[in-house]
Structure 1
Amino acid sequence: MVIGWYVHHHGYGHVARFLAVQPHLRAPVVAFSSLARPASLAPGVEWVELPPDADPFDGPDGSTVDPRDADPTARGTLHWAPHAHPGHRARLAMIAAATVDRNLQAFVVDVSAEVVALVRLLGLRTIAVTQPGTRTDAPHALAYDLADRIVAPWPHGAVPTDGLTAHGDRVVWTGGISRFDGRDADGGIEDRSVLLIGRVLEPEVRHETTRQLRDRGWSVTAIGHDASSRIDDPWSLLTRSTVVVSAAGQNSVADLAVARARAVVIAQERPFSEQEHTAAALERWGLAHRADVSVPAGALVDLVERAAGDEPDWKRWQVAGAARRMAAAVEAVLP
């Protein structure tokens, strides 16, 4: 009994979720992604690297074709299936071939409406991972209709999910999934310390925010805003900082929750307003202060100082055991 798993290549969140859940699966897994194999992935897990499908390609007349000009949505029915793109064709063919060669029985798709449709047409038991946001468009509706199970990696009721209303009997709300679940804090919280994590601010705003915070007596650490500042394991910084400023993506929020961080979340511009919906939920539940990407330095400094006095009840985000709950939801569809 082998499980396939498609890992979307945008950002780090999808692969982080896979790395958190895979160790809890009893069945072997074959992962598919345009991303390179993660260094921390267990040696026994097969990783199939797929060719890219969004780069320009040579048309039949020798001209260079931008895939955005090749009817990639099939008149709004799909999200991404550009005509004649060799990489798109090859990646779907590789997935289809593997279902036979590896005798796959189930397939987790995180995330792609097209891969959901492909693997369900191939007769596999299909688990679609969804995300917050206004996902009532035709491709999402198709994926939800086809999936045998839909995994929503946040707590039930936190974020409005109009697109899932008709599919409640197949939705599993796992709570936020973090790779740090079960890990103990590294020491106590440092007084008046701020962690800026990720590419949440324009460089000039980040520099001005840092200057103003330091003028008010705060120490500031910034990581993940470029390749040189990336840290593979930011756990100690998350747990030691008085306040963390982070994006409002699902994995970022789950990491804040397991670290019990006082936080300001900045909603990044994403398709279907995913992070805006999540940030609004966090503010509504009293778990974090929210800002948008246009927040000026002075306003952000004020939010940091307000957050320093918070006592957020992060248990509401249901991170403890969430990776195991997703693994159980996947295994529940196996024959």
Structure 2
Amino acid sequence: MIGYYIHHQGRGHLNRAISIACHLRRPVTALTSLELPEEHPFTATVTLARDDTAETVSEPTAHGALHWAPHHDDGFGARMQAIAGWVADARPEAMVVDVSVEVATFTRLLGVPVIMVAQPGKRVDQPHLLVHRMADHIIAPWPRDLCMPPWLRSYDSKTSYVGGISRFDGRERPHLSRGSGGAARVLVLGGAGGSTLDAETVAALAAEQPSYHWSSLGVPGGPWTSDPWPQICAADVVVGHGGQGCVADIAAAERPAVIIPQARPFDEQQMTARVLQQHQLAVVARRWPDHRAWPGLLAHAMSGDPARWRRWQIHGAAARAAAAIEDTACRCRKEAAR
């Protein structure tokens, strides 16, 4: 039995977990505060209380040792009690944590091997140093030859760089068509993790740039779909953020892209954007551009070779992550039996 903790921020952690769980041979229990889709690959689920609903919190960082462990917080306490109860009953071989320093540390203190999913950015604070040192294995969901953060090099012997994990890996790309009247189609992708963009901004841009056919998905105030694959594939240019799931989905479709990183802790999206720009996988704008800059940005994106996205190593990434999880579970079980 494998446990899989899924963080509730956005949808990227869940999509990644589903992709990986499809390749695991062992039963997998999802532990999360998120509502799961009707169809999913998990054998069982443990619904965790939210720990971020209190109006005020006390000492949430444990004096800088952790990220979120507030004093006397009912939600936080209930989450940890639920995890401890499940571990006692299920006796898992390992726990995958995507992502939480506190859940990883707590689970490891219960004697369960921990596989940590790494995130990009400057992860050199004390909580991250603790969790990466403590982890029995680390999965980095990006390609090693394009990005090896200095802080992760110390753990090279226990890190698997599996490539970008997309839920659309292996899915056939539909026929690509141009916009009406030959206008290039520009798709603006938002995300559930929060954005400074809204539908009004996209509408205003479309009015200012009528030579392009603009549409959006997942942008606050605009349309949303659980399956954006056809729209991503049909776009001549995708304007997206720097989240790992968004980047991986664009890479799976091999579409020209303009990436605008959103503000996130530890400069996560900024780091990813720098890597994409450095290796010419996408055009990067540090902030939402002025309307006069868009023709040049879009032309630059469309002039590139979208096949360069293959360097993000989407194909087989989820299966490689699953293999690393299985290998770690087996290794830790054998070492304990000696």
8 Å contact kept, 1:189–1:239 = no
Partner of 1:195: 187
Q: Which residue of 2 aligns with 1:53?
A: 51
Answer yes or no: is the 8 Å Cα contact 2:261–2:269 preserved in 1. Answer: yes
> What RMSD, in angstroms, separates the aligned Cα atoms of the two structures?
1.5
Q: Does 1:118 align with 2:106?
A: yes
Alignment of 1:1-150 (within 5 A): 2-42=1-41, 45-56=43-54, 66-67=56-57, 70-150=58-138
2:336 matched to which residue of 1?
none
Pick from 250, 254, 261 the counterpart of residue 248 of structure 2.
254
State the shift of 1:331 in Å: 0.2
| 1:189 Cα offset (Å) | 3.8
Q: C-alpha distance in 2, partners of 1:169/1:286?
A: 29
Structure 2 distance, partners of 1:55, 1:301, is: 43
Specify the SS of the correspondent of 2:22: helix
Tell me which residue corresponds to 2:239.
245
Summarize deviations over 1:190-232 as a string: whole Å, max 9, x none: 2511111114624443222222332xx2111111113761111
CA distance in 2, matches of 1:227, 1:120: 42
Please say if 1:171 is aligned against 2:163.
Answer: no
The size of the alignment, in residue pairs, is 321
Tell me which amino acid in the other structure corresponds to 1:109. V
Aligned to 1:124, the other structure's residue is in SS state coil
* Structure 2 residue 315 is matched with structure 1 residue 323: no
Q: Report the Cα distance in structure 1 between the residues aligned to 2:237 and 2:92, rounded to whole angstroms.
A: 45
Contact preservation (8 Å) 1:116, 1:126? yes
1:276 equivalent in structure 2: 270
The alpha carbon displacement at 1:302 in A equals 2.7
Q: Secondary structure at the match of 1:196?
A: strand
Code of the residue aligned with 2:44 in structure 1: it is E
Q: State whether residues 117 and 140 of structure 2, in contact with CA within 8 Å, keep that contact through their aligned partners in structure 1.
A: yes
Q: Secondary structure at the match of 1:94?
A: helix
Mean CA deviation greater in 71-80 or 298-307: 298-307
The DSSP-based 3-state class of the residue aligned with 1:267 is coil
Distance 1:200 1:258 in 2: 25
Aligned counterparts of 2:174 and 2:238: Cα–Cα separation in 1: 15
Residues 202 and 250 (structure 1), Cα distance of their counterparts in 2 relative to 1, 3 Å cut = same
AA aligned opposite 2:48: L
User: Aligned partners of 1:115 and 1:299: how far apart in 2?
Assistant: 44
Paired residues of 1:135 and 1:162 also in contact (CA < 8 A): no
Q: CA deviation at 1:160?
A: 4.8
* Percent identity for Structure 1 against Structure 2: 39
Per-residue deviation, 1:167: 0.8
Shift, 1:28, TM fit: 0.4
- Give the TM-score of the pair, scaled to structure 1: 0.92
Tell me the distance in 2 between the aligned counterparts of 1:38 and 1:144: 30
Taking the aligned partners of 2:273 and 2:230, their CA distance within structure 1 comes to 24
SS at match of 1:264: strand
Say if 2:206 is the partner of 1:206: no
The Cα of 1:298 is off from its aligned counterpart by: 2.5
Q: Which amino acid aligns with 1:248?
A: G
SS of match in other structure, 1:104: coil
Counterpart-to-counterpart distance in 2, 1:224 and 1:40: 21
3-state SS of paired residue (1:308)? helix
- Whether the 8 Å CA contact 1:5–1:107 is kept in 2: the answer is yes
In 1, are the aligned partners of 2:216 and 2:222 still within 8 Å (CA)? no
Q: Determine the C-alpha separation between the residues in 2 that align with 1:305 and 1:315.
A: 21
**Equivalents in 1 of 2:196, 2:294: separation in Å?**
12
User: Of residues 313, 327, 331 in structure 2, which corresponds to 1:332?
Assistant: 327
CA distance in 1 between counterparts of 2:197 and 2:309 reads 25
TM-score, structure 2 normalization: 0.91
1:59 aligns with none
CA deviations on 1:218-275 (whole Å, 9 max, x unpaired) are: 1111111137611111111111110000111111111011100100011000000010
Matched residues in 1 for 2:141 and 2:148: separation?
13
Does the Cα contact within 8 Å between 2:199 and 2:221 map onto a contact in 1? no
